Structure 1
Amino acid sequence: MVSDDHLSRIRELKFKQLLVFERVATLGSMHKAAEAVHMTQPNVVKIVRQLEELLDVALFERHSKGVRLTVFAEHLLTRIRPMLGDVRAMSEELTALRGGDGGQVAVGTLISASAWLLPESAALMKRRHPRVGLVIREATNDILFPMLQVGELDVIVGRLPEDPGEGVEMHAIYQDDLMIVARAGHPLSRRSDCAVRDLLDYPWIVPSNASPVRRQVDQFFLDRGLPVPDNQIVSLSMLTNLGILARSDALAMLPSVAARPLIQVGVLFEVPIHVRLPFGAIGYSVRADRPLVPAAETFVRVLKEVGARAQSGIA
C-alpha cells in the first residue's frame, strides 16, 4: 500500500520537473537538455536536484561526458514518456479545435522511405498545409518503434517490419523491390549484361547487420555459391550513400522507388544482372491504442496519395 508520505511527494511533482528530467535522461547531458528546453544549465541542474530531493532518490550519476541514468531514473522514464506523449497530443488536438490549420507531426523514417516517399510527402504537405510543422527523425527500427509506442512519434514511414512490437498498427501502401545500382559512368555501365561474380570486384555499400537489407545482400551472394563481398562500407545514411556512389565505383542495393528517379535523371544506373530482390511492403505505422492527432491524420492522407503514385509506377 502506498504511504501518505509517498502520495504527498507525488502530488508535489511539477510538469516542468518531469519535462526537464526527460530531456536530461534522453540527451544524456545537462547542457544539451538546457538548450532543448531553452533554460540555463544551472536552472536545469537545480530542477533535477529538486526532483531528486522530492523523490528521495538519485536519478543521475555524473561523469565527464554527461550523466548516466540510475535504476530509479530508468523506471521513472518509462512511466513519464507516455504521459508526455499524451500531453503533446492533447496540445495538438486543442489547436485543431480552435480552428487553425496548424499543429505538428513527429515522423520517424527508415532509409527505405527517406529518399523518395517521405520527401515527396513532406513537400506536398507543406504546399497544402504550410502551418503544420514536421519533425523528422531517421533511425533504425529498434530506436523508432519504442519512440512510437510511448508517443514521441506520431507515425513511422518505411518498410514494414515483421514484428513491430505491441500496440503498433501497420498499414501497407505499396510493394517495393531492391535493385543494384552504381553511378552513371561506372565501368559496368558499358556492359549490357553482368555476371553476379563480376560484382565482387567493386566496393559495396551495405547497411548494418541489424538491417533486413543487409541480410538480403548477404543471402544474394550466398545463394549463388559466392562469398559475401569483403570490401564494404557500412552506412545507413541515404545522403552519405549517394555521395559515395557518385564519387566511387561502389555498388549498393537500393529500393527501386528511391533509385528510379535518380536513374531517370542520369545520376545512377541499374547494374544489368536482370535480377531484383523483393524488398517488402512500404507503408506507415501508428499506435493502435491512440487516435492520430489532426495534423498527423492530414499527413497520413498525403502519404497515401503520394504512395499511390509509386504503386502505379509513376514515381
Structure 2
Amino acid sequence: MMFDDSLARIRDLKFKQLLVFERVATLGSMHKAAEAVHMTQPNVVKIVRQLEDLLGVTLFERHSKGVRLTVFAEHLLERIRPMLGDARAMSEELTALRGGEGGLVAIGTLISASAWLLPESVALMKQRHPKVGLAIQEATNDILYPMLQVGELDVIVGRLPENPGEGVEMHAIYQDELMIVARAKHPLSRQPTCTVEDVLGYPWIVPSNASPVRRQVEQFFVSRGLDIPANQIVSLSMLTNLGILARSDALAMLPSVAARPLIQVGVLFEVPIHVRLPFGTIGYSVRAGRQLVPAAATFVDVLKEVGTRA
C-alpha cells in the first residue's frame, strides 16, 4: 500500500515543480529563484509548498538570508539534477534536428579563458557554424560547476580546478604561466631589469581570496621573505583589470596566453623581473558519462583546435 502511495506521488509530480525546486535549492533563495525562472516570488513559494504537500515532507527551512535545504531536499536534488540536464539536452537535440544545423551551447568561463581561448574559439565557431547559438556566463568555480552538474551548462572553459566535484570530467588543453604586467608606458618600462623590491611600491591588482591564483600571488612575495603589498585592488574582472592597468601605474599577474597579444600590440608590457609562476592547466570540463549535444560537441572540437595555438 505504501509502495502504491509513493507511485501515486511520483505520477502527480510536475516538471515545473521540479524545475522551480532545483532553482531554489541551488540559489538558496526564493527571490533569486523567481528571477531565474521569470516568475513572481509568491508563485515560486506556492509551487514549493505544493511540492512539499505532495511529497509530505519539508524541503526548506526559511531564514533571514534565504532558505536552507533539509535532508529530504538534498536527496531530491541529487535525484532530479541529472534528469533536468537530460531534459535540456533533449530539447537542444530536437532543435538541432528540426533546423538542420543549430542548437544552443551553454558555456561557463573563468577569467583564465575569457581573454583569449574562449573569444578565439567563439569567433571560429560562429564563422563555421553561424546557426549555432552560444550563451556564455562568466563566474567562479563555486557557481559554474553546480550549473554544469545539473546540465544548465554544456561545458566550462578555463583553469581546471583540483576538486571539481562529482560527475565532472576534465580535459586538459595546454599549460599556462603567470607574468607580471603593467601599462606600456609604466615607469618600470624605462628600466632594463627589475628586482622584486622594485615592484612593491606600486598598486597591485590581485584576485579574491576565493581564487586559487591568490595563493600563488601571495606565495610569490612570502617565499622571498617580503610582505604582501598592502596597496591592493581586488578584482576578478578581466575587463576591469585591463582598464585599471591602462589608466594607472598598477601591476598585475596575468595568464601569459592572455597577456602576450596585448604586449605585442603595445597595450601592456612585461615587467622585466624575469620571474614566471606556474598558472595551471587550461582546459574544459563536461558532465561525466553524458553525451554532449551535437552543437556542444562541435564547439569542443573547435576549442581543442584553437588550444593548439597556445
TM-score (norm 2): 0.90
AA matched with 2:209: N
Alignment of 1:115-264 (within 5 A): 115-264=115-264
- Asked if the contact 2:81–2:149 (Cα under 8 Å) also holds between the matched residues in 1, the reply is no
- Change in 2 beyond 3 A, CA 1:30/1:131: farther
Question: Shift in Å at residue 67 of structure 1?
Answer: 4.7
For 1:168 and 1:248, the matched residues in 2 are separated by: 40
For 1:4 and 1:14, the matched residues in 2 are separated by: 18
Q: Which runs of 5+ in 2 are unaligned?
A: none
Q: Secondary structure of the equivalent of 2:200? A: helix
For 2:266 and 2:193, the matched residues in 1 are separated by: 19
Query: What are the superposed Cα offsets for residues 185-237 of structure 1, whole Å, 9 maximum, x if unpaired?
Result: 21111211111111111111111234232222122222222222222222222
AA matched with 1:248: S
CA RMSD of aligned residues (A): 2.4
Question: Shift in Å at residue 298 of structure 1?
Answer: 0.9
For 1:221 and 1:65, the matched residues in 2 are separated by: 38
The number of residues matched between the two structures is 310
Question: Shift in Å at residue 24 of structure 1?
Answer: 3.2
AA matched with 1:164: P
For 1:287 and 1:62, the matched residues in 2 are separated by: 31
Greater displacement, 66-75 / 221-230: 66-75
**Counterpart for residue 83 of structure 2:** 83
Greater displacement, 201-210 / 162-171: 162-171
**Counterpart for residue 49 of structure 2:** 49
TM-score (norm 1): 0.88
AA matched with 1:269: F
AA matched with 1:268: L
Question: Shift in Å at residue 301 of structure 1?
Answer: 1.2
- Asked if the contact 1:81–1:152 (Cα under 8 Å) also holds between the matched residues in 2, the reply is no
**Counterpart for residue 313 of structure 1:** none
- Change in 2 beyond 3 A, CA 1:242/1:293: same
Q: Secondary structure of the equivalent of 2:179? A: strand
Query: What are the superposed Cα offsets for residues 5-28 of structure 1, whole Å, 9 maximum, x if unpaired?
Result: 233112210111111222333344
**Counterpart for residue 297 of structure 2:** 297
Question: Shift in Å at residue 137 of structure 1?
Answer: 2.2
- Change in 2 beyond 3 A, CA 1:18/1:174: same
For 1:264 and 1:86, the matched residues in 2 are separated by: 44
AA matched with 2:148: L
Greater displacement, 287-296 / 59-68: 59-68
Percent identical: 87
